[in-house]
Amino acid sequence: MADLLTSRPPGRTPVSGPVLFARYAFPPNSHGYCGPNDHQSFFEHGVTGKDERGLRALSQQFAGAWPYLQLIAAELGLDDPLDRRVVDAYWVGNSRLNQVSTRAIGNSMEERFRYRAGPGFSALTESVVAGGVPHHSFVVFCIYPWTGLLSDGRKAAHALTVLDQCRIRWGKVLAVQGDQVVVESTPLVWDGRTLAFGDLMTETVQRSVDGTSLMDDVTEGDWVSMHWEWVCDVLSYRQVRYLRDFTARHLRIVNEGNLHKGPAALLGT
């Protein structure tokens, strides 16, 4: 990670909050995991790069992410859950997450999951008390049940793949090859007891379809964020640090709280 300290962040023009949300939310939506049924329409709205009513309406259909955006916005005193600062806080992480109180997070968990999670609700409470914040990695590791499936030998490999692909991960672009990008990234590994970052690996991810993309061009040497098999955005070095640090925070909560001993909550939240 030495490059994070010695290289200059790339200069990019920020996009609107709704467009940024589409960049991160489209990959799981394309797999049918969350959001509107018509993922092609969602993609096309995001490609326009415009903050318009259609894109906003589709974004509100993400029943998992939307309540967290509302929570962050309320705690920051903002009226718009799709304010870019809110969207960035949820997917990547920024200093504004530290302004979201533990009480507010706990109340949100109580309202949404108390009756649905049953006995598993105590794990959610412990995760919040341990420092969990409304960052996407908190949702992936502490809310969804995949972490709890790691201890099942028959399901561990699949669960690890889902956890790795569902989290927002970061990597450095090694090459751009048409619609695809070759990236050096850090995968998750599971040794039977601990969920952690592994050694650097090379992976190939999608940036566009027949030249049509949700995001600006990427170039060799850029640091990028990825969700499932898609590149989502070009990151500044500060953003990479935030993303890495918030992800590490929630991995620590998983390991110290032994959340892999049993499902923390429910899939489909």
Yes or no: say if 178 and 212 are a contact pair by the CB < 8 Å rule: no
User: Which pLDDT score is estimated for 1?
Assistant: 40
Tokens of 77: 């005193």
Global pTM value: 0.90
Rounded Cα distance, 86 and 93, in Å: 9
**Tens place of pLDDT for every residue, the chain, 269 residues?**
433 433 334 456 789 999 999 999 999 999 998 999 999 999 998 998 888 899 999 999 999 999 999 999 999 999 999 999 999 999 999 999 999 999 999 888 888 777 666 666 777 778 888 899 999 999 999 888 899 899 888 999 999 999 999 999 999 999 999 999 999 999 999 999 999 999 999 999 999 998 899 887 899 999 999 999 999 999 999 999 999 999 999 999 999 987 766 544 443 44
User: Which pLDDT score is estimated for 145?
Assistant: 86
Instruction: Compute how many other C-beta atoms are within 10 angstroms of the C-beta atom of residue 203.
Output: 15
Report, in angstroms and rounded to the nearest whole number, the Rg of the chain calculated over CA atoms.
18
Q: At what angle do helices 84-91 and 17-30 cross, to 10 degrees?
A: 40
User: Which pLDDT score is estimated for 119?
Assistant: 64
